[in-house]
Amino acid sequence: MSDVFWVPLVRDVITVSGKDAASYLHSQLSQDISSMEAGDARQSFLLEPTGKIVALLRVTRGGLDRFVLDTDPGFGDAVAARLSRFKIRVEVDFELTTQTWRAIRNLGGTSIQGVIPAWRMDGSAVDVFAGQAAMPDLIPEGSWEQYERERIAAGWPAMGADVTADMIPAETGVVEVAVNFSKGCYPGQELVERMDSRGSKAPRSIVRIKCPLGTKQGDDVVVNGEVVGRFTSVQGEIAMALVKRGTIV
């Protein structure tokens, strides 16, 4: 197991508040929001009505009428704009800020108050508001390269690098974490549900892949002399890549 470490983590944060906050987010996001209790955190997609991705984000319930949505830096404006677009006769407000948190990886059995599960929500990757974090001395500060290596190893895509606005959830490899198939309707649901019910495969998808040293983001993925995709995130000899359906890498 890799050693525990922490790094500063910049996030775009949208605070959603108001008496209709829970019901409105439930109607807009791919995740089940109505069943969340205070302190719960879940991954979710925010989609356009076409099913294209606005953002992959995390939802944390702070209280009865308050939620915190966080996403990769540079995508908060799009999230706030998309949520505001369908805000009709509901009492809900949005506040967008950019915050620096602490990302703690390979936490193991160490107990830290106020942590929020990250990535695949399995407990080994957690984040905490920097202002609230009393970090044990045994957890050293790591490097961004360490963070990226852990992210790629976990198969967690980053907005802008691995996930872009022309993609659909089925291409990301995280539908099982970010979509609830038993909740009610939300914009973009038709495409998500249709692909799942038919067992349809996306024409391309994000995968973890080994790569030669020196590979760069944006380089072609070549298998048996054929270009089958492109590298989207690279850290040393491991990477994430967007490749054609049926590609064996």
Are 95 and 19 within 8 A, CB to CB?
no
pLDDT digits (tens, 9 = 90+) for 57-114: 999 999 899 999 999 999 999 999 999 999 999 999 999 999 999 999 998 776 777 8
Token readout for 208 is: 């973890």
pLDDT digits (tens, 9 = 90+) for 101-137: 999 999 877 677 788 999 999 888 999 986 655 667 7
Residue 170 predicted with pLDDT over 90: yes
Token readout for 103 is: 């990302």
Residue 129's pLDDT is: 81
pTM of the model: 0.93
Residue 202's pLDDT is: 84
Q: What is the DSSP letter of 219?
A: P
pLDDT band at 197 (very low <50, low <70, confident <90, very high): confident
Task: Determine the Cα–Cα distance for residues 53 and 46; give it in Å rounded to an integer.
Answer: 6
pLDDT band at 249 (very low <50, low <70, confident <90, very high): low
Give the H/E segment covering residue 68. strand 66-71
Percentage, residues of the chain above pLDDT 70: 95
Percentage, residues of the chain above pLDDT 90: 82
Closest CA to 158 of 172, 169, 144, 143: 172
Which of the two residues, 112 and 28, has the higher pLDDT score?
Answer: 28
Tokens 């939300």 belong to residue = 186
Domains of the chain by residue range? 9-101+143-197, 204-244
CATH topology of domain 9-101+143-197: Gyrase A; domain 2 (3.30.1360)
